Amino acid sequence: GEHRRSAAMRSAIHEALQQGVIALKGTEAPGVVRGGVALVGGGPGDPELITVRGRRLLANADVVVADRLAPPELLAELPPQVEVIDAAKIPYGRAMAQDAINDVLIDRAKAGKFVVRLKGGDPFVFARGYEELLACADAGIPVTVVPGVTSAIAVPALAGVPVTHRAITHEFVVVSGHIAPGHPESLVNWNALAAMSGTIVLLMAVERIELFTKVLLEGGRPADTPVLVVQQGTTSAQRTLRATLADAPERIREEGIRPPAIIVIGSVAAFGG
Residues 256 and 194 grouped into a single domain: yes
Nearest to 177 by CA among 169, 187, 192: 187
In the predicted structure, residue 137 carries a pLDDT above the cut 70: yes
Task: Please give the pLDDT value at position 23.
Answer: 53
CB atoms within 10 A of CB 164: 14
Q: Is the CB of residue 147 less than 8 Å from the CB of residue 123?
A: yes
What pLDDT, in 10s, does the model give residues 35-87?
Answer: 999 999 999 999 999 999 999 999 999 999 999 899 999 999 999 999 999 99
Residues 171 and 124 grouped into a single domain: no
Residues near 173 by beta carbon (within 8 Å), at least 6 away in sequence: 193, 196, 198, 199, 200, 201
Look at the chain and report how many structural domains it folds into.
2
User: 67 catalytic, yes or no?
Assistant: yes
User: 89 catalytic, yes or no?
Assistant: yes
Q: Is the CB of residue 181 less than 8 Å from the CB of residue 190?
A: yes
User: 196 catalytic, yes or no?
Assistant: no
Residues 134 and 259 grouped into a single domain: no
Task: Please give the pLDDT value at position 25.
Answer: 43
Q: SS3 for 202?
A: strand
Q: Is the CB of residue 41 less than 8 Å from the CB of residue 119?
A: yes
271 pLDDT band, cuts 50/70/90, is: very high
Residues 132 and 173 grouped into a single domain: no
273 pLDDT band, cuts 50/70/90, is: confident
Lowest mean pLDDT among 16-20, 106-110, 157-161, 184-188: 16-20
Residues 225 and 173 grouped into a single domain: yes
Residues 11 and 137 grouped into a single domain: yes
Average confidence (pLDDT) over 92-117:
91
Average confidence (pLDDT) over 146-154:
98
CATH at 19:
3.40.1010.10
Residues 185 and 136 grouped into a single domain: no
Query: What is the extent of the structural domain holding 121?
Result: 2-149
Among residues 113, 119, 122, 204, the one annotated as catalytic is 204
d(CA 193, CA 195): 5
What pLDDT, in 10s, does the model give residues 20-40?
Answer: 555 544 457 888 999 999 999
> What mean pLDDT, rounded, does the chain reach?
92
Residues 24 and 56 grouped into a single domain: yes
Among residues 46, 89, 119, 122, the one annotated as catalytic is 89
Residues 158 and 259 grouped into a single domain: yes
Q: Is the CB of residue 22 less than 8 Å from the CB of residue 13?
A: yes
Task: Please give the pLDDT value at position 161.
Answer: 98
220 pLDDT band, cuts 50/70/90, is: very high
Among residues 9, 25, 67, 214, the one annotated as catalytic is 67
89 pLDDT band, cuts 50/70/90, is: low
Residues 140 and 183 grouped into a single domain: no
Q: What is the largest CA-CA distance in the chain?
A: 70
